[in-house]
Amino acid sequence: YINKRAQLRSREIHIDQDRDGIYDAFEVLKFNTDPKKRDTDGDGLRDGAEVFKYRTDPRVKNRRP
pLDDT digits (tens, 9 = 90+) for 44-61: 999 999 999 999 999 999
Average pLDDT over residues 5-21: 80
Rounded-to-integer distance, Cα 44 and Cα 64, Å: 7
- Coil/strand/helix, residue 7: helix
The pTM of the full predicted model, rounded to 2 decimals, is 0.79
Q: How far is CA 30 from the centre of its chain?
A: 9
The candidate with the shortest Cα–Cα distance to 26, out of 65, 58, 61, 63, is 58
Average pLDDT over residues 9-22: 86
Query: Looking at per-residue confidence, does 7 or 18 come out higher?
Result: 18
Q: Is the dihedral of CA 58, 61, 64, 65 positive or negative?
A: negative
Query: Looking at per-residue confidence, does 47 or 4 come out higher?
Result: 47
Residue 4, Cβ neighbours under 10 Å: how many? 7
